[in-house]
């Protein structure tokens, strides 16, 4: 499970309510002649009150003008800024809309409307407003900057970068634009360039908390965790209540296996923002890694609300978390995370069935055939297939909480998955001719996984294994090849690549069953080999996923697995050297 990363925009929000009155042009654009009421004098008096912070007085004066002249642009526009300063963004948006209707040639009206719409998360409409403002005033710095913010929120990082660079051409000392250039580079997958931008921002303002914070995020992306902690500490020194800095401090500490200190950092963030789901979720991962399952699985329920999670699908039936028995009731268990998670938590299905519940299991399509053989499942259905009636539902990842699982009570009825005869026969025809021992290997997982840079390796790194075991046959169950692996694969004649031929996990299970050993990084095949009870050697990063524990040689989830851990971050060479030595001993007939 990845640790969610949060970048912070240089401006705290799309609309900075406290600075807004300074950004607004107070040039009076008279659109009508005063009769019995001197509108110009009233406007100047209202602007003075607003700039002095007397917002209620300013609001009354603008309202007085609008009673006489309902279409007076300046009164509408400036009353909108008062409402924005008071936090009434919806009312501000209504007033700005009326203002641009009254005078569509005034760029500050469109800019203010754009900021209000952005604050209301109506970014596409906000961009249209900034386009109009920019057409009317191409060199207005605030419009250029705010338009960049909107483009970044729309995930148009390249366009946003060009916008912020225009700001810097005109105002080289614009620190917020410099920081946001860094955010754009980060969004474009260039953390090194992002770091350069944050360093440039700090050259302008050495104590800027967001520059230090975002520098810390970039350093985490680059695997420079000690420096990331230093950067977040600098951010916290400048802004002790910078909640996201506490969150990122925890993430960096986790990567160094300082889980206790990370828990303290997450607690600081929760103290500042008790409903922050990212902090609660990352706290759960740290607690689970330490074996504190009682508190960890309770906190794990915050995963539904963390950053980037899509809205949860309504199931139309109550959620069950172990509150009452399910005898003679039908429960829908549904996959919710990766393939490996589904395999790991499927072990609870027989336990539920033993209580008298009828279990319907909804899983990823690649797993349907394999899990159809799982004991206790009355029905196994692929996602998007019609569901039978059910009484309650439970996500698979919530089953440890429902069963009050402790570290010492992890259910491990290995094997609970197996290959079927038809698939065994299919793959025997391919594998029987290969000399033994046959070793299945997998070296990388999903590249979209946030921690992929730590857990996945290239095929080239495994070259020493082929030399260490000259008698063995190696079988690749790597389904997705990365560009750098294609040439390496062609240069390894002893490696039989089957990944492209594996239609689903029933195929993978059969191949693993026909091999004598499985060597893999932390991927779904690792979980499958563990669930099948196959001999499994698992390569783990220095800070592994919580289910592999922190420092033990095995895990309660798959007791037979042999774990090969990095002794330091990114040290795969020593891990592979130990693997090679173990392979040599295996070929020599030693345990």
Residue 5: strand, helix, or coil: coil
208 class by beta-carbon count within 10 Å (0-12 exposed, 13-18 middle, 19+ buried): buried
H or E segment and range at residue 250: helix 243-255
Contact (Cβ atoms closer than 8 angstroms) between residue 214 and residue 238: no
Any residues with CB less than 8 A from the CB of 302 and at least 6 apart, and which? 277, 280, 281, 284
pLDDT for 354 equals: 96
Could you list the mean pLDDT of each consecutive 10-residue stretch along the chain, which spans 591 residues? 37 41 41 57 91 93 92 94 94 96 95 96 96 95 96 97 97 97 97 98 96 97 96 97 96 96 98 96 97 97 91 90 95 95 98 96 97 97 95 97 96 96 96 94 86 90 90 93 86 90 97 97 97 97 95 92 95 95 80 47
Question: Regarding the domain delimited by 330-409, which CATH topology (the fold level of the hierarchy) does it fall under?
Answer: Rossmann fold (3.40.50)
Q: Given the DSSP bridges, would you call strands 330-334 and 392-395 parallel, antiparallel or unpaired?
A: parallel
Confirm whether 20-239 and 421-587 share one CATH topology: no
What number of other Cβ atoms are within 10 A of residue 572's Cβ?
Answer: 17
Query: Which candidate, 119, 133, 109, 65, places its Cα nearest to that of 88?
Result: 119
Placement of tokens 């062609």 in the chain:
490
Euclidean distance between CA atoms 491 and 65, whole angstroms: 81
Domain spanning 20-239: CATH 1.25.40.10:
yes
pLDDT for 30 equals: 42
CATH number of 421-587: 3.40.50.2000
Placement of tokens 């893999």 in the chain:
520
Return the sign of the alpha-carbon dihedral for residues 41, 42, 46, 47: negative
Query: What are the sequence ranges of the domains in the chain?
Result: 20-239, 330-409, 421-587
Query: Which candidate, 538, 520, 445, places its Cα nearest to that of 476?
Result: 520
Q: Given the DSSP bridges, would you call strands 517-520 and 438-442 parallel, antiparallel or unpaired?
A: parallel
Any residues with CB less than 8 A from the CB of 202 and at least 6 apart, and which? 208, 211, 212, 215
pTM comes to 0.86
pLDDT for 250 equals: 98
Structure tokens at 474: 């190696």
Contact (Cβ atoms closer than 8 angstroms) between residue 415 and residue 532: yes
């Amino acid at each position: 499970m990845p640790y969610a990363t949060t970048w912070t925009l240089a401006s705290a929000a799309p609309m900075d309510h406290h600075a807004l009155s300074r950004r607004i042009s107070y040039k009076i654009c008279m659109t009508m002649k005063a009769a019995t009421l001197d509108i110009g004098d009233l406007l100047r008096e209202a602007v003075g009150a607003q700039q002095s912070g007397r917002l209620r007085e300013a609001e009354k004066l603008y309202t007085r003008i609008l009673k006489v002249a309902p279409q007076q642009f300046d009164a509408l526009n400036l009353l909108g800024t008062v409402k924005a300063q008071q936090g009434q963004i919806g009312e501000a948006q209504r007033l700005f809309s009326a203002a641009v209707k009254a005078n569509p040639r005034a760029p500050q009206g469109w800019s203010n409307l754009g900021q209000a719409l952005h604050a209301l998360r109506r970014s596409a409409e906000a961009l249209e407003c900034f386009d109009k403002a920019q057409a009317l005033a191409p060199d207005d710095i605030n419009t250029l900057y705010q338009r960049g913010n909107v483009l970044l929120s729309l995930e148009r990082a390249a366009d946003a970068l060009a916008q912020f660079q225009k700001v810097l051409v005109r105002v080289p000392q614009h620190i917020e634009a410099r920081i946001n250039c860094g955010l754009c580079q980060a969004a474009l997958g260039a953390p090194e360039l992002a770091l350069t931008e944050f360093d440039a921002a700090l050259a302008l303002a050495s104590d800027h908390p967001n520059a230090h914070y975002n520098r810390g995020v970039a350093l985490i992306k680059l695997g420079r965790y000690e420096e990331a902690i230093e950067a977040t500490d600098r951010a916290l020194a400048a802004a002790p209540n910078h909640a996201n800095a506490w969150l990122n401090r925890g993430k960096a500490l986790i990567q160094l296996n300082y889980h206790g200190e990370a828990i303290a950092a997450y607690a600081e963030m929760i103290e500042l923002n008790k409903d922050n789901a990212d902090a609660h979720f990352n706290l759960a991962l740290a607690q689970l890694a330490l074996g504190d399952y009682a508190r960890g699985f309770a906190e794990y329920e915050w995963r539904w609300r963390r950053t980037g999670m899509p809205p949860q699908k309504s199931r139309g039936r109550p959620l069950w978390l172990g509150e009452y028995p399910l005898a003679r009731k039908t429960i829908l268990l549904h996959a919710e995370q990766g393939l490996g998670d589904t395999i790991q938590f499927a072990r609870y299905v027989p336990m539920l069935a033993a209580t008298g519940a009828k279990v319907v299991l909804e899983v990823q399509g690649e797993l349907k055939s394999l899990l159809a053989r799982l004991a206790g499942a009355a029905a196994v259905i692929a996602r998007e297939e019609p569901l039978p009636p059910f009484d309650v539902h439970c996500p698979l990842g919530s089953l440890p909480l429902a069963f009050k699982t402790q570290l010492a009570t992890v259910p491990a009825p290995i094997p609970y998955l197996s290959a079927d005869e038809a698939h065994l026969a299919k793959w025997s025809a391919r594998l029987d001719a290969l000399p033994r021992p046959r070793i299945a290997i997998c070296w990388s997982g999903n590249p979209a996984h946030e921690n992929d840079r730590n857990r996945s390796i290239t095929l080239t790194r495994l070259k020493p294994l082929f030399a260490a075991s000259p008698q063995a046959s190696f079988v690749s169950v790597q389904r997705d090849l990365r560009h750098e692996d294609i040439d390496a694969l062609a240069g390894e004649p002893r490696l039989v690549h089957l990944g492209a031929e594996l239609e689903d996990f029933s195929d993978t299970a059969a191949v693993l069953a026909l091999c004598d050993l499985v060597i893999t990084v932390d991927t779904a095949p690792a979980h499958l080999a563990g669930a099948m009870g196959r001999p499994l050697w698992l390569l783990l990063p220095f800070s592994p996923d919580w289910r592999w524990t922190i420092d033990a040689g095995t895990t309660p989830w798959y007791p037979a697995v042999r774990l090969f851990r990095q002794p330091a971050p990114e040290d795969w060479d020593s891990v592979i050297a130990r693997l090679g030595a173990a392979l040599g001993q295996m070929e020599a007939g030693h345990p």
